[in-house]
Amino acid sequence: MSGLRGLLLRRVAVEGPLSVAAFMETALGHPEFGYYATRDPFGGGGDFTTAPEISQIFGELIGAWCGDVWNRMGRPGRFVLAEFGPGRGTLMADLLRALHVLPGFGQAASLHLVETSPHLRGIQAGALTPYAPVWHDSIDTLPEGPLIAIGNEFLDALPIRQFVMTAQGWRERRIGIGAEGGLAFVLGEGRPSRERIAPADSILEECPAAAGIAARLGRRVAAAGGAVLLIDYGYFPSGFGDTFQAVRRHRPAGVLEEPGEADLTAHVDFAAVAEAASGAGAKVWGPVPQGEFLARLGLGLRMATLLRKADSNQQENILSGCRRLIDPAEMGTLFKVLAIADPALPEPAGFSSGAS
């Protein structure tokens, strides 16, 4: 039995059935046994692969987006450049390398990383040594001032709550102890923050952490300037359905099977994120599909440049990487891009065919 399973079973015995959020938070973030606390989950040898690990073009184009936002902000002489959940630091390294060509950007930026995993902080430090990043446990301790921030596959790791429509109305889907003594789903007390009419057995998900972060970021960019780019898999508009999922070694796994050993995520409710940010005074752009966004930022041109300098082996990698990022059957449509921006800022690049 994994250390975490025993710990969760004891916790249920004491506290009663846990919310999906409490389970997710512990399985991912427990300081000793949590999934992110103990490993580097990325790449072929790990559990899953993310866009920046697939192609350097991803980070370079996000870099171009950040440089463009900085220009549209009037090139502030000091600003906070932040990344939420930077993984291996690959996206930020590609972004900053691409922005060497933009005079003044590097000098004006102070780099801040929001990351809870000590293990991944170590890997990020190795990737980003020349830029002297400062780490934070949450967005709340970022220094004041104008902000340009990015987060790729950050929101999907935040804990969700699930509710089920029963004959008695909404009940919370919780994790208790099943007939065989293992962890099992049960129904318990708890109602969604906004009750919606739904057919029997519908599952409704809420991510209070994502909504809270979107509201705080919205308030901040509206007051101090800047924009935040969030990229993730998710849905728009809001809907019903169970999107809680576990992935281990690039395959789906049971969500309750081996807590701490599999990555747990949920699809992002982009409408809820947008509503929280605009309710806090920010202007929200998108969400738009990742494939369209990257194409508008110039993926084709950048790909052509790289292909010219590559040998045939590298050419194949470049082409297959770009295909994965933009193909609607792969990451092109399921992944979406949303910006939370200062309302005074003109439309950022990538959100409509007019502005690129």
List contacts with ligand SAH (CB under 6 A): 36, 42, 50, 52-53, 85-87, 91, 114-117, 120, 152-154, 157-158
- Min dist. Cβ of residue 266 to ligand SAH (A): 12
SS3 284: strand
Cα 248 from Cα 41, distance rounded (Å)? 9
The residue number with the shortest CB distance to ligand SAH is: 85
Three-class SS string for 76-137? CCCEEEEEECCCCCHHHHHHHHHHHHCCCHHHHEEEEEECCCHHHHHHHHHHHHHHCCEEEC
Retrieve residue 37's tokens: 């606390």
Cβ distance to ligand SAH smaller for residue 117 or 243: 117
- Min dist. Cβ of residue 52 to ligand SAH (A): 5
Residue 137: C-alpha distances to residues 50, 92, 125, 204 (Å): 22, 18, 15, 29
Cβ distance to ligand SAH smaller for residue 206 or 342: 206
- Min dist. Cβ of residue 157 to ligand SAH (A): 4
- Min dist. Cβ of residue 187 to ligand SAH (A): 27
- Min dist. Cβ of residue 140 to ligand SAH (A): 11
Unique residue bearing structure tokens 């509503």? 275
Cα 130 from Cα 112, distance rounded (Å)? 13
Unique residue bearing structure tokens 């040998």? 311
- Min dist. Cβ of residue 121 to ligand SAH (A): 9
Cβ distance to ligand SAH smaller for residue 114 or 142: 114
Cα 105 from Cα 202, distance rounded (Å)? 48
Retrieve residue 273's tokens: 């994120």
Q: Residue 318 burial by CB count (10 A; 0-12/13-18/19+): exposed, middle or buried?
A: buried
Cβ distance to ligand SAH smaller for residue 73 or 297: 297
Cβ distance to ligand SAH smaller for residue 156 or 342: 156
Cα 237 from Cα 220, distance rounded (Å)? 25
Cβ distance to ligand SAH smaller for residue 11 or 39: 39
- Min dist. Cβ of residue 46 to ligand SAH (A): 11
Cβ distance to ligand SAH smaller for residue 152 or 290: 152
Unique residue bearing structure tokens 């990020």? 124
